[in-house]
Amino acid sequence: MNSRRLTLVLVLLLPLAAMSQSEDTTIQQVKVVFNYSVYNFPQEWRNDRIDAQGQAIATDEIQRSKQVAVAALNKYSTTLLEYNLKTVYFLKSMQFFGVGYGGTNSTDALYMTNNGIAMGYTNRYIEQTFHHEFSSILFRNYIRFFDTTAWKRANDPTFDYNDPESGVGSIRTGRSSQVLDRALARYGFLTEYSMSSLENDLNTLAQNLFLPDSDFWKIVDGYPRIKIKVGLLILFYSQIDHRYSESYFRNFDH
């Protein structure tokens, strides 16, 4: 009797698994995954120190997430994606080091959260997170094109990036605002979170190049330190793909 009951359970579960799997898709040769498993995270993230955890995305948020993924991925060439991004995982939530994350990245994958518009996960937020995280992969893979010295020189001379945990500390202590801040722009920073590390600084500018907040280009044009950094970042992207020019990015503001 136990054997027959087990068989019945398996027969019932298989169609559900197939239905869930069918939600996954491929866009621009990048696999977009909605099924959650802790094994989606790299093995080194599943140790006691990092303790990667997540929750499956709600079924009714899958279609909207796909639409955002299409919008984001279409801003990159197929060749660039082929060499740098294999998979995008969507989750309801995730945390590392006991801290909740909106997005993160590994060698060739992005991990994105979407917990619904009512919780602040608008299309804009999700797509900006995509560009934010993907810029980290590109930064690592094409570091030879990035002028770190010139970037640091654009900061106020008294400043040093101040989060020894490269952003985790800022999130943990509530100093991770991504609201554009004109007071900080005088010193070369677009947001509070930008100050946590050079990479997070770059990420925040990158997300606004590909999907600018309403005041982004006004701040670029009004604050010399920001303008220098944006110029350096556009130069970086243009060496990866020649279509990435200032005019290309400014067109996203219309």
The position carrying tokens 């299409």 is 70
- The three-state secondary structure class of 182 is helix
pLDDT digits (tens, 9 = 90+) for 134-191: 999 999 999 999 999 999 999 988 888 865 554 343 443 445 567 899 999 999 999 9
Q: How far is CA 155 from the centre of its chain?
A: 24
Q: Measure the N-to-C terminal CA separation of the chain; round to a whole number of Å.
A: 67
The answer to whether the beta carbons of residues 91 and 57 sit under 8 Å apart is: yes
For the chain, residues classed under CATH 3.40.390 are 21-141
pLDDT attached to residue 10: 34
| CATH annotation of 21-141 | 3.40.390
pLDDT attached to residue 178: 75
pLDDT in tens, the chain (254 residues): 444 333 333 333 334 343 344 589 999 999 999 999 999 999 999 999 999 999 999 999 999 999 999 999 999 999 999 999 999 999 999 999 999 999 999 999 999 999 999 999 999 999 999 999 999 999 999 999 999 999 999 998 888 886 555 434 344 344 556 789 999 999 999 999 899 899 999 999 999 999 999 999 999 999 999 999 999 999 999 999 999 999 999 999 75
CA distance 238 to 211: 17
pLDDT digits (tens, 9 = 90+) for 58-71: 999 999 999 999 99
Letter string b/e over residues 166-189, b meaning 16 or more CB atoms within 10 A of that residue's CB:
ebbbbbeeeebebebbeebbebbb
CA distance 157 to 187: 9
